[in-house]
Structure 1
Amino acid sequence: MASMAPTVSGRVPAGVRPQTAAGFLALFRSEITLTFRRTRTIALLGLLAALPVLLGVVVKIETGDMHGGANGPAFIAQVTQNGLFLVFAALAVALPVFLPMTVGVVAGDSIAGEAATGTLRYLLVAPAGRTRLLAAKFLAAMVFCWAATLAVALSALATGAALFPMGSMTLLSGDTVGLGGALLRAVLIAGVVALSLAGLVAIGLFVSTLTGSGIAAMATTVGLVILVQILDSFPQLHAIQPWLFTHQWLTFGDLLRAPMYWTGILQNLGLQALYLAVFGSAAWARFTSRDVTA
């Protein structure tokens, strides 16, 4: 079987068969490089990193005359008492809107963007290449989810350390844990947040296989996120809300209790797995049968 030639800026090295494990790793590395060398991706990560800084500065200014935040809302008081809590606060602010919008842009453009630039057909010259290409696109988008989550978390950690005291943290349950235990919970929460976006990535990939316009795919994916968030806010729709992929995103707060409460988190991750199975299969069925001419 002929190997894939280096047709698109060295995306797949010459002599590497994409059907082999080494070929898939080369394809995955090329997707990672393509994703993170784009100016758009860097700008999105920069905006996400700026969010905790803005949040921390606003909290610092607003609580400057509140004697440590004692007269402010509990949310603000927790941040001012321990800078590490800014990590959890920033993720809680970013997850409903900012993180899914950036992930929607990357996932929605994954296939449609290649088609729009005319590079997609060059990546599909090898038999059985479509499944592996789709898998590489999904994994690259998930790596972006981790990078985006880390951008928020690390920026919040640095900002919290600069503006507020650090040390033992009082959990939502009233228990106190040391700095090491609090950092461990921050790592766990960042992981849960990143995995919570897996369903959205699958939806974005599916949408991306339906059109040859990257802009249309990105707009549709982001629009779906907004629509689902709106649907999740109406009490009259309580029957379908547990099945919306955004419904249990904020259950990561249960990790800020002692003992940690995993039921809601596992339900959230199970729901993401369901969306991944359904929309991942739909994306595969569409992409493997699609007549790619661009």
Structure 2
Amino acid sequence: MSRVDAVRADAVRRPSALWTFGLLRSELVTTVRRWRTLALLGVLAAVPVLVGIAVKIETRDGGPVGGGHGEGPAFITQITNNGLFLVFTALAATLPVFLPMAVGVVAGDAIAGEAGAGTLRYLLVAPAGRTRLLLIKYATVMAFCLLATLVVAVSALAVGALLFPTGELTTISGTRISFAEGLGRALLIALVVAASLVGMAALGLFVSTLTNSGIAAMATTVGLLITVQIVDQIPQLQALQPYLFPHYWLSFADLMREPVYWDDLVRNLGLQGVYAAVFGSAAWARFTAKDISV
């Protein structure tokens, strides 16, 4: 059998679950190995380092953080009491801008980047099908959401433990919990933050199906993020704000209450699910009808 015949045979053969897993693994490895992705992860890892060093320098003479006026991200005034709070502070500092921008870059490039590089046609020659390929791309972006969030959390945990004391910590409600329980809540918060980005990931993937330029898709996705963030801060548009995907992002702080306040957390996760369903469906409708000419 010639090579051409082998390719044609592969194209009509139904892909196995193992083949699908192999393609997903290949996508994950390719995404993580890109210099752009490594640079994004490096910036995210550097944020907790900068925050931790800044707090250490500011409080070296025993003074309060932010001059005692509560300035800065949530939990920042608690870092000097317990380094674990640097995890919560770093996530609060990166979630509004840095994390979603990184996700927007990866999601925006998912389809458009392949089309612009001329590799999308070759991916579709393999027995994947457009729907399966789109799902693999979205799964890769969601995996990046988790990876990026964990990079911030692990970096913050390491820096916090190095520069500040650790041990029992006080929740927002004033109750004391053990360091082990604090670590558990930090992990849960990281998972919630990662889940808070799935709507943004679906939006970026949809934009990526609209163009063959990876740069244009990334710029458009980040631009939409900035626009929505601005709208979410305008008081005159408060009736619209509860329906915007970043509106409940910082609700993860409620996981540090005793008992936990679940209302805004549930609203956030539900809203992300709606955005994922709407823009995921739009991406599927666009991609399955897209003319792949390059």
TM-score for the superposition, normalised by structure 1: 0.92
Which amino acid in structure 2 is aligned with residue 49 of structure 1?
A: A
TM-score for the superposition, normalised by structure 2: 0.92
| Superposed CA offset, 1:231-278 (max 9, x none) | 000111011100000000000000000111111111101000000110
Q: 1:128 to 1:45 in 2, by over 3 A?
A: closer
CA distance in 2, matches of 1:156, 1:259: 25
Aligned to 2:49: 53
Measure how far apart 1:18 and its partner are.
6.0
Aligned to 1:150: 150
CA distance in 1, matches of 2:5, 2:141: 25
Measure how far apart 1:22 and its partner are.
1.7
> How much is the aligned-residue C-alpha RMSD, in angstroms?
2.2
Unmatched 5+ residue regions in structure 2?
none
Give yes or no for contact 1:4–1:125 (8 Å, CA) kept in 2.
Answer: no
Runs of 4+ more than 2 Å apart: 3-7, 14-20, 66-77
Give yes or no for contact 1:4–1:17 (8 Å, CA) kept in 2.
Answer: no
Give yes or no for contact 1:17–1:23 (8 Å, CA) kept in 2.
Answer: no
| Superposed CA offset, 1:116-161 (max 9, x none) | 1000001112566100000000000011111100110000000000
Aligned to 1:138: 138
CA distance in 1, matches of 2:12, 2:26: 13
Verify: 1:215 aligned to 2:215, yes or no.
yes
Determine helix, strand or coil for the equivalent of 2:239.
Answer: coil
Measure how far apart 1:33 and its partner are.
1.2
CA distance in 1, matches of 2:154, 2:6: 37
Which amino acid in structure 2 is aligned with residue 46 of structure 1?
A: G
Give yes or no for contact 2:116–2:214 (8 Å, CA) kept in 1.
Answer: yes
| Superposed CA offset, 1:37-96 (max 9, x none) | 111111110110000000000011111223565962454431111000000000000000
Unmatched 5+ residue regions in structure 1?
8-13
Which of 28, 35, 44 is matched with 1:32 structurally? 28
Measure how far apart 1:110 and its partner are.
0.2
**Identity of aligned pairs, percent?**
62
Give yes or no for contact 1:206–1:283 (8 Å, CA) kept in 2.
Answer: yes
Q: How many residues are matched?
A: 286
Which amino acid in structure 1 is aligned with residue 118 of structure 2?
A: G
Give yes or no for contact 1:87–1:156 (8 Å, CA) kept in 2.
Answer: yes
Which amino acid in structure 2 is aligned with residue 276 of structure 1?
A: A
Which amino acid in structure 2 is aligned with residue 260 of structure 1?
A: V
CA distance in 1, matches of 2:13, 2:88: 44
Which amino acid in structure 1 is aligned with residue 16 of structure 2?
A: T
